[in-house]
Structure 1
């Protein structure tokens, strides 16, 4: 199984506490996901406050007209420095997403590191090369723009 990596860093002129409050709330995911993906949270276990073991289920359309169910688990939380979500059920053979926050002069440096794998062996590798890799990068490019518009540069 081939594992792909995408790492994105972004400076935001907000405190680490503000960053944590925004990013640790699953309800804010919809605001930073491209609208055409029709992202919809269906269930959040244990309420709004993030904790290790929390399960979140979504419905989305990564490809227009093809709805996909996705279940993630928050596996690690070190407030306000990082948290990790991992896919439990969904379109990927592996999805491991680390969210890191570091206080820096004038704000916070946010880093997303995603390690993912596509099922179907060589066909999955071809799919990643043709469109999945571009789609994943496009989601994070969109997120970067939305966050810059919301919080500033």
Structure 2
């Protein structure tokens, strides 16, 4: 399991608006993943929504990834789960709560690798890659929200 906590210097509604719009996902994903949304998306997510992507997996191989938004409780949390893709199991919880100074965001990612027991050989590499993805995300969000408190939307984001 991977757990990340970050304080966003924006109010809860601003944080929710950004994260509930799946079109913003490429903004917080490292360019090296070649992350490409391949399905049509509504402006806001909903429980049961399916999103398809193409990403660069291990060894530079492009793979399709299908996730479903399984739970949405605005503005407190949502869950995405892999339906088809590079993991044997993927369950990502996104939690948001108002705190002094902004919004606390907690990501809880539970995952299993495919092709066991051989998948275990790749486990350290996959863990480092996930850490890198979430490090990139944290830096990007810090920069993006640093001076935006209530200025959501002024820089071309959805």
* Deviation, structure 1 residue 32: 0.3
- Structure-2-length-normalised TM-score: 0.89
Which structure 1 segments of 5+ residues have no match? none
Residues 1-153 of structure 1 correspond to what in structure 2 (within 5 A)? 5-44=1-40, 47-63=42-58, 65-129=60-124, 131-152=125-146
Instruction: Give the superposed CA RMSD.
Output: 1.3
Q: Quick check: which one's strand share is greater?
A: 1
Contact 1:37 1:63 in 2 (8 A): no
Runs of 4+ residues over 3 Å off in structure 1: none
* Deviation, structure 1 residue 37: 0.9
Contact 1:54 1:73 in 2 (8 A): yes
In the alignment, the residues of structure 1 paired with residue 73 and residue 51 of structure 2 have an alpha-carbon distance, to the nearest angstrom, of: 18
| Structure 1 stretch displaced more, 54-63 or 82-91 | 54-63
- Structure-1-length-normalised TM-score: 0.92
Q: Aligned pair count? A: 147
* Deviation, structure 1 residue 40: 0.6
In the alignment, the residues of structure 1 paired with residue 13 and residue 53 of structure 2 have an alpha-carbon distance, to the nearest angstrom, of: 26
Question: Residue deviations 1:44-99, cap 9 Å, x none?
Answer: 46x22211100000011134631110000000000000000000000100000000
* Deviation, structure 1 residue 119: 1.1
Please give the secondary structure, in 2, of the residue aligned with 1:121. Answer: coil
In the alignment, the residues of structure 2 paired with residue 140 and residue 134 of structure 1 have an alpha-carbon distance, to the nearest angstrom, of: 10
Which structure 2 segments of 5+ residues have no match? 148-158
